[in-house]
């Protein structure tokens, strides 16, 4: 379970009685957070910051604990911020600066100087905010009574982004084969990815999977076929083609797990030793949170994995997609998004069907894939591009819609969506910003989530909507 450390600032000028009360209030708040946000993370209260050393100890603990996703800081009393400097220099994890108070209301009848000194967040949080700004440290600033639903929602948003950043730092992409020949936007600087986001981009030949799939046992295939037939409708007689996907998936799962990878890419131009392009196998893996990038797109493999992690526990679907074709009636233009095979089944409106058709490019045997129409609803489309000297995230509002007519001859799963504020602006801005044809679609995440991720990772962001 991911942890969030709660670090509360005070000082020793007001005496032990005051510090006892600070502790008691902080414990009560920690318990409240665990009660109300406990499904997202476990909150732990660290020692009250009263000196430079306690702050340094707290921040070092947060930074070095592998389970800690981020910290929430708050000044209960006035907490002179010079004592925060050494500690803040140690922390590189996401920080939420909570500007709140232990009690909701002022006790008008009894308020005196002691009460004001004890409940001095209005003062202390300004001092703390100044030093964050002075040290150029990024923090999400949230102000309001901590029990308010609105504040809890903001804290929850912070937790999901902090967890996603933690996942990002632990993301390794297995790239089987290289970037698709001649394609620009999927390529880039792998080293920059690791320095900026922690993504380790590791190369292997697809022959590794070919060999591994040759070692898969018949009982393992039978078990995987059972999984397929439970989750999906078998709409083909070509069981051999489906079994091949079962073998690929088992081989991929083993290989990724042995090499501590949470994402992979392949390339239809480089399938040496495989008779089919992984279709159903890649789709079923994406449903399990594995990041996938076709045509060697390691950025979208990692980004989709990170965003799937961000969306954990929320309603809605998140996954890879590719911009394909437009439908442009004057009554309202739509876009048809899909891929050669690999559309994630989390977008399926009904039970997906396993079908086998020839692959239009690549010259391999007819691969099994899941075919379905998509769910409807508001969401976002987002991508990340490498501009040589920096990365850019682009995030646009979209609405997934029911496809206006059936498409009986389209052999792949598909998603149709509307752009915002309108088709022209949505498309023009995406293209002017250099937005890729590979992206992540989500009905679970919001633009605010992506903006927060971009903020904490210091990535330029273009939003459209
Ligand atoms: Mn593609």
Q: How far is the CA of 440 from the centre of ligand 1 (A)?
A: 12
Tell me, in angstroms, the distance from the centre of ligand 1 to residue 186's CA: 9
Q: What's the gap in Å between 438 CA and the centre of ligand 1?
A: 6
* CA-wise closest residue to 145 among 165, 119, 172, 111: 119
Distance 10 CA to ligand 1 centre (A): 54
The parts of the chain modelled with pLDDT lower than 70 are none
Q: Is 298 exposed, middle or buried (0-12, 13-18, 19+ CB in 10 A)?
A: buried
pLDDT at 363: 77
How many Å lie between the centroid of ligand 1 and the Cα of residue 220? 30
Centre of ligand 1 to C-alpha 383, Å, is 13
Q: How far is the CA of 423 from the centre of ligand 1 (A)?
A: 22
The string of DSSP codes covering 167-224 is HHHT-EEEEES-SPTT--TT---HHHHHHHH--EEEEE-THHHHHHHHT--HHHHHHH
128 CA to centre of ligand 1 in angstroms: 47
CA 294–ligand 1 middle distance (angstroms): 6
Q: How far is the CA of 326 from the centre of ligand 1 (A)?
A: 16
337 CA → ligand 1 middle, Å: 11
- For residue 349, the 8-state DSSP code is S
What secondary structure, in 3-state letters, does 9-22 show?
A: ECCCCCCHHHHHHH
Q: Residue 360 has what pLDDT?
A: 78
262-314 pLDDT tens trace: 999 999 999 999 999 999 999 999 999 999 999 999 999 999 999 999 999 99
């Amino acid at each position: 379970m991911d942890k969030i450390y709660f670090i509360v600032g005070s000082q020793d000028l007001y005496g032990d009685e005051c510090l006892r009360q600070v502790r008691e209030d902080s414990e009560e708040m920690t318990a409240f957070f665990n009660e109300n946000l406990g499904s997202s993370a476990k909150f732990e209260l660290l020692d009250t910051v009263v000196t430079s050393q306690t702050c340094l100890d707290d921040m070092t603990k947060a930074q070095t604990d592998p389970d800690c996703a981020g910290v929430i800081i708050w000044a209960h009393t006035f907490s002179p911020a010079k004592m925060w400097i050494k500690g803040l220099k140690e922390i590189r994890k996401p920080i939420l600066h909570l500007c709140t108070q232990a009690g909701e209301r002022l006790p008008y009848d009894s308020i005196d100087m002691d009460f004001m000194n004890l409940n001095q967040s209005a003062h202390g949080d300004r001092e703390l905010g100044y030093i964050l700004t002075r040290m150029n440290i990024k923090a999400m600033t949230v102000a309001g009574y901590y029990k308010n639903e609105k504040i809890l929602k903001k804290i929850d948003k912070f937790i999901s982004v902090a967890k996603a950043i933690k996942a990002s730092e632990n993301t390794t992409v297995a790239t089987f084969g290289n970037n698709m020949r001649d394609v620009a936007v999927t390529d880039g600087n792998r080293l920059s990815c690791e320095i900026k986001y922690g993504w380790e981009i590791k190369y292997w030949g697809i022959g590794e999977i070919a060999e591994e799939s040759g070692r898969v046992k018949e009982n393992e295939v039978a078990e995987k076929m059972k999984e397929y037939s439970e989750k999906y409708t078998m709409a083909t007689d070509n069981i051999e083609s489906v079994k091949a996907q079962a073998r690929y998936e088992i081989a991929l799962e083993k290989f990724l797990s042995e090499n501590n990878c949470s994402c992979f890419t392949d390339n239809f131009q480089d399938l040496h030793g495989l008779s089919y392009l992984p279709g159903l196998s890649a789709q079923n893996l994406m449903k399990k949170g594995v990041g996938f990038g076709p045509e060697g797109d390691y950025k979208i493999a990692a980004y989709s994995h990170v965003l799937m992690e961000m969306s954990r526990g929320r309603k809605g679907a998140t996954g890879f997609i590719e911009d394909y074709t437009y439908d442009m009636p004057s009554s309202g233009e739509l876009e048809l998004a899909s891929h050669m095979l690999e559309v994630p089944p989390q977008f399926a409106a009904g039970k997906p069907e396993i079908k086998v058709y020839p692959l239009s490019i690549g010259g391999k045997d007819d691969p099994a894939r899941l075919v379905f129409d998509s769910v409807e609803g508001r969401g976002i489309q987002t991508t990340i591009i490498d501009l040589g000297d920096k990365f850019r995230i682009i995030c646009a509002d979209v609405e997934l819609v029911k496809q206006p007519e059936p498409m009986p001859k389209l052999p792949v799963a598909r998603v149709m969506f509307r752009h915002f504020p309108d088709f022209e602006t949505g498309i023009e801005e995406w293209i002017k910003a250099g937005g890729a044809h590979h992206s992540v679609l989500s009905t679970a995440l919001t633009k605010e989530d992506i903006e927060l991720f971009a903020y904490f990772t210091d990535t330029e962001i273009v939003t459209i909507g």
